[in-house]
Amino acid sequence: MVKVLDLKRHVCYMIVAAIIALLITVLLHYPTLLHLEELGRIVVPRPKSIAVARLSGLVVYSEERGLLPISYITPNYVEDLLEEALKENPGALILVINSPGGEPSACYEIYHMLKRYKEEHNITLVVYIPSIACSGGYYISLAADEIVVNPDAMVGSVGAIGMIFSYVDLFKKLGVEVKIVRSGKFKGLTSPFKRIEKEDIEFTRRIVYGTYRHFVDILMESRGDKLREENLTDILNAMIYLGDEALKVGLVDSIGTLEEAKERARELAGLPENTPVVEVRPRIRRITIPLLPWSILVALEYLIPKAPSNSIKIMYMIGT
Amino acid sequence: MLSTMPGKESLVPRIVFYVYAISTIIPCCMTIVSLIPTLFDISIYLKPISTALSIFGVLLLTYIFYIALNYIRLHKLRFSDFINRSEIVVSDKISEIDASSFRAILEIMGNRIRRIPRRTSPIFIAPLVSVLYIIGHVTVELASRYVLEITPEAFLEFPLSSEALMEFVMYTTTMSIGSILLLVSVILCIYILHILNRDLYELESIEDEMISTLRPLASKIGLKLPYREVNIAKRNTILYAILYIVTLGLFGVYWVYRVAIRDPEEHVKEDYKVYSELPKILAITPQ
């Protein structure tokens, strides 16, 4: 009996301790309860800096994809990165872009986000391409005041690409029959449960050329005066150039290393020589293990439709 | 005679220790995880759990300290009382001279017990650990609510405005007070663990000395007083404190287990064997 009473006493103490611990934790970690979100703000104007931020991977709208270790550039990620860069009071921002391309809508959003950012905050934007900025990767680079490229990097591939998939033969082999009931003749275009027909090709072509036209408009608006006319046909036919070739045809502004890009950014922004260079990282870091070559990952992760209903893919993408 | 022995109920219950160990080991592991750069973000999400468990763990540690310190205090009082009330039984085998020499030895033992430093009351010192830790933790957390938009370069280049300076002084003061309180709570923990070990060690050596004096007298009447099989070790507090800090608190769990759970338990067990024989040779004045 004594033992049971003792145990009760100990358990009671433990319960009281747990309640106290929980109460303190709730008050500390949910500060809105006590209006303690921000006790004070110590703000001191900083000297201007040159911020360096890195964008690497497929340009996509949403990060919620498979488990494959691919890096993504999403509008949310870019926004987060730009917000972090602002804390460094940048006079110039260098974006190190390394991307084979991606979704048109995400490219469009990131391009305009960068444009707005540099205008709103009066920041000189320089893009440095160390390895690859093709198609959608190049699209977002067009927001820069100047593009510096590594001579061995790949640049260009101005164009869009579309693919349609059909599972009819596969389903036939599996013994599965699918009948499609449509409310209108355009409903279910590019459905993977029917054979690819002329209208599907035409529809895809229309979408591809539509997004391609948007890309060309942005290219002309940003670099129309810098592109060499005799190479324009090749450029608009999605030719890929090495860094030094890209300079000749006017796709980029200069050749160099990241150090030269920093120097160029400093000159363009009119910053003093001792301006500090700060590396900017997003608040939430992502774990990526770049083990496989791009093409395999892209094929596995993105281009093979995950659900049969998602059978059409339009991309600003290199080599697919 | 046996009434002088501390009963089992005054020892730290193991269930409390096990819960304490779990609630301490998990936040320690979380701290270690947060040191791995790729897992840093995960540790941010787990921070509330870690905070709750740490505070819970400290409150349980307070309870453990209270029971353990109280046990030592009572043990010392009872042992001292036992010495005052004990008298050797004079018989045909034990002479008056033996009895008076034993009385003299008991007096020396009594003086030695009195020389063990008087410690602060457990009811005050044990909760102090929790109070200091919780206030320190809350203060540091509140200090982190300050939004700092300042770099060392900016501090040198641009003088702070009076408002910003005031905020900065408030921030550094809050953060320093919190950190100092946390540090003091850790030092206090180490001190309590130190005195738990030292006091019990000291008491046990006095007890052993008394028993070894009694042993030849006991053998005269054909009584064999048993030896202790396990003795309390004198632990190196500095080494243990270093290990405690290096392992980010994990070693502390073992330290608490040794000095607050295992050592008193073993001491009581050994005491029982020895003291159960003593009424055969000693006469104890009733209270």
Would residue B121 count as lying in a domain? yes
pLDDT digits (tens, 9 = 90+) for B251-266: 999 999 999 999 988 8
Same domain, A128 and A23: no
Segments forming the whole domain that contains residue B21: 10-133+187-224+232-284
Per DSSP, the residues of A20-60 read HHHHHHHHHH-GGGGT-S-S-EEE-PPPPEEEEEEEESEE-
A12 and A104 share one domain: no
Q: Output the DSSP codes for A276-314.
A: PEEEE--SS-------S-HHHHHIIIIIS-SSTT--EEE
pLDDT value of position B65? 93
* Structural contact between residues A116 and A79, judged by C-beta atoms closer than 8 angstroms: no
Task: Please compute the mean of the pLDDT values over residues A73-98 and round it to a whole number.
Answer: 89
Number of inter-chain CB pairs under 8 A, A vs B: 110
pLDDT at A97 over 70: yes
User: What share of chain A has pLDDT > 90, as a percent?
Assistant: 33
B-facing residues of A in 224-243 (CB < 8 A) are none
Q: Sorting pLDDT into bands at 50, 70 and 90, what band is A31?
A: low
pLDDT value, residue B149: 58
Among residues of chain B, what percentage have pLDDT more than 90?
21
| Token code pair at residue A196 | 């690819």
- In tens, the pLDDT along B36-93 reads 766 666 666 777 888 889 899 999 999 999 999 988 888 888 888 877 777 776 666 6
Q: What does residue A166 show for φ and ψ, rounded to 5 degrees?
A: -130, 135
What does the pLDDT read at residue B285? 57
Burial of A220 (0-12, 13-18, 19+ CB in 10 A): middle
Task: Tell whether A79 and A201 lie within a shared domain.
Answer: yes
Is residue B275 scored above 70 in pLDDT? Answer: yes
- What does the pLDDT read at residue B148? 61
How many domains in chain A? Answer: 2
Residue A83, domain member (yes or no): yes
pLDDT (tens digit, 9 = 90+) per residue, B106-131? 788 888 888 787 777 888 888 999 99
pLDDT of A1 reads 43
**pLDDT above 80 for B151:** no
SS3 at position A180: coil
Judged by CB atoms closer than 8 Å, whether chains meet at A44 and B158 is answered as yes
Determine the pLDDT at residue A318. Answer: 60
Stretch B193-210: mean pLDDT: 89
* Residue A306 banded pLDDT, cuts 50, 70, 90: very low
**A8 CB near a chain B CB, below 8 Å?**
no
The answer to whether residue B50 is domain-embedded is yes
Task: Give the percent of chain B with pLDDT over 70.
Answer: 82
Q: Is the pLDDT of residue B221 over 80?
A: no
Q: Is residue B194 part of a domain?
A: yes
pLDDT at A128: 95
Which residue of B lies nearest to A41 if distances are taken between CA atoms?
B147
Q: Of A171-175, B165-169, B238-242, B269-273, give the lowest mean pLDDT range.
A: B165-169
Yes or no: say if A212 and A159 are a contact pair by the CB < 8 Å rule: yes
CA distances from B3 to B7, B77, B106, B161, B284 (A): 8, 12, 19, 71, 11
pLDDT higher than 90, residue B155: no
Token readout for A169 is 């033969």
Helices and strands (H, E) in chain B, number of each type: 10, 3
Chain B nearest-CA residue for A48: B154
Are β-strands A312-317 and B147-149 bridged in parallel, bridged antiparallel, or unpaired? unpaired
> How far is residue B98's CA from residue B100's CA, in Å, rounded to a whole number?
6
CATH number of residue A303's parent domain: 3.90.226.10
For residue B114, the one-letter residue type is: R
A303 found inside a domain: yes
Judge whether residue A293 has pLDDT over 50.
no
Q: What is the mean pLDDT of residues A244-263?
A: 92
Using alpha carbons only, give the angle B129, B132, B134 rounded to the nearest 5 degrees: 100
Strand intervals (E) in chain B = 86-88, 147-149, 282-284
Say whether both A237 and A202 belong to one domain.
yes
Tell the residue number behind the tokens 């120097």, with chain if given.
A263
User: Do the chains contact at B63 and A17, CB–CB below 8 Å?
Assistant: yes
Range A161-174 average pLDDT: 84
Report the alpha-carbon distance of residue B125 to residue B70 in Å, rounded.
Answer: 11
Task: Kindly provide the residue ranges of all beta strands, DSSP E only, lying in B83-225, ordered along the sequence.
Answer: 86-88, 147-149
Q: B144 to chain A nearest CA, in Å?
A: 9
Q: Is residue A307 pLDDT above 90, yes or no?
A: no
One domain for residues A30 and A54:
no
- Let me know if residue B266 belongs to a domain: yes
Residue A91: inside a domain, yes or no? yes
| A42 part of contact set with chain B, CB < 8 Å | yes
pLDDT of res. B1: 39
pLDDT band (50, 70, 90) for residue A33: low
- Residue scoring higher pLDDT (A122 or B32): A122
A178, part of any domain:
no
Q: Across B56-191, where does the E strand assignment appear?
A: 86-88, 147-149
**Chain B residues with CB within 8 Å of chain A CB:** 9, 13, 15-16, 19, 37-38, 40-41, 47-48, 51-56, 59-60, 63, 134, 137-138, 141-143, 145-151, 153-155, 157-158, 160, 164, 167-168, 170-171
Q: Which residues of A touch B150 (CB under 8 A)?
A: 42-44, 46
Candidate from B40, B141, B155 with C-beta closest to A44? B155
Q: Does residue A316 surpass a pLDDT of 80?
A: no
Are A82 and A23 in a shared domain? no
Question: Between the ranges A128-137, A308-317, B168-177, where is the mean pLDDT highest?
Answer: A128-137
Closest CA to B116 of B197, B170, B48: B197
| Average pLDDT score over residue span B159-182 | 78
**Tens-place pLDDT, residues A118-154:** 999 999 999 999 999 999 999 999 999 999 999 999 9
- E-strand ranges in A130-267 read 132-134, 146-149, 154-156, 161-164, 240-242, 254-255
Q: What is the pLDDT of residue A290?
A: 40
How much is the mean pLDDT over chain A?
A: 81
Q: Is A276 on the interface with B (CB under 8 A)?
A: yes
Whether residues A16 and A131 share a domain: the answer is no
Summarize the confidence of residues A54-72 as an average pLDDT: 73
pLDDT at A44: 58
Q: What is the pLDDT of residue B39?
A: 65
Q: Are A23 and A108 part of one and the same domain? A: no
Strands (E), B89-142: none
Which chain A residue has its CA at the smallest distance from B40's CA? A285
Number of Cβ within 10 Å of residue A151's Cβ equals 13
Closest CA of chain B from A49, distance in Å? 11
Q: Is residue B152 part of a domain?
A: no
Residues A89 and A196 in one domain: yes
pLDDT at A202: 87
Q: Is B86 helix (H, G, I), strand (E, B) or coil?
A: strand
Q: What is the pLDDT of residue B6?
A: 42
Identify the pLDDT of residue B7.
Answer: 46
Contacts of A10 in chain B (CB under 8 A): 13, 15-16, 63
Higher pLDDT pick, B17 / A292:
B17
Q: Do A44 and B142 touch (CB under 8 A)?
A: no
Whether A22 and A58 map to the same domain: the answer is no
Q: Are A219 and A294 within one domain?
A: yes
Q: Given this model, what pLDDT does residue A308 score?
A: 42
CB contact burial A301-314 (16+ within 10 A = b; e otherwise): bbbebeeeeebbbb
Residue A296 in contact with partner chain B when CB distance is under 8 A: no
CA distance A316 to A138: 9
Of A209-213, B99-103, B176-180, B194-198, least confident by mean pLDDT is B99-103
**Which chain B residues are Cβ-neighbours of A41 within 8 angstroms?**
146-147, 149, 167
Structural domain of residue A298, as residue ranges? 49-163+189-317
Q: Does A175 fall in a domain?
A: no
Q: What band does A10 get if pLDDT is binned at 50, 70 and 90?
A: confident
| Total tally of structural domains belonging to chain B | 1
Same-domain pairing of A155 and A231? yes
Condensed to tens digits (0 to 9), the pLDDT of residues B235-251 reads 999 999 999 888 878 89
Q: For residues B216-226, give the mean pLDDT.
A: 76
Least confident of A107-121, A299-313, B142-156: A299-313
Which chain A residues touch B13 with a CB distance below 8 Å?
Answer: 6-7, 10
Within 10 Å of residue B217's Cβ, how many Cβ atoms? Answer: 21
Q: What's the gap in Å between the CA of B170 and the closest CA on chain A?
A: 9
Per residue in A216-249, pLDDT (tens digit) is 999 999 888 888 888 888 888 889 999 999 999 9
B175 in any annotated domain: no
User: A281 CB near a chain B CB, below 8 Å?
Assistant: no
Q: Is residue A301 part of a domain?
A: yes
State whether residue A84 is helix, strand or coil: helix
How large is the angle between the packed helices A2-29 and B122-143, nearest 10 degrees?
Answer: 20
Q: Please tell me the number of Cα atoms within 13 Å of B279 on its side-chain side.
A: 9
Structure confidence at residue A284 as a pLDDT band (50, 70, 90) = low
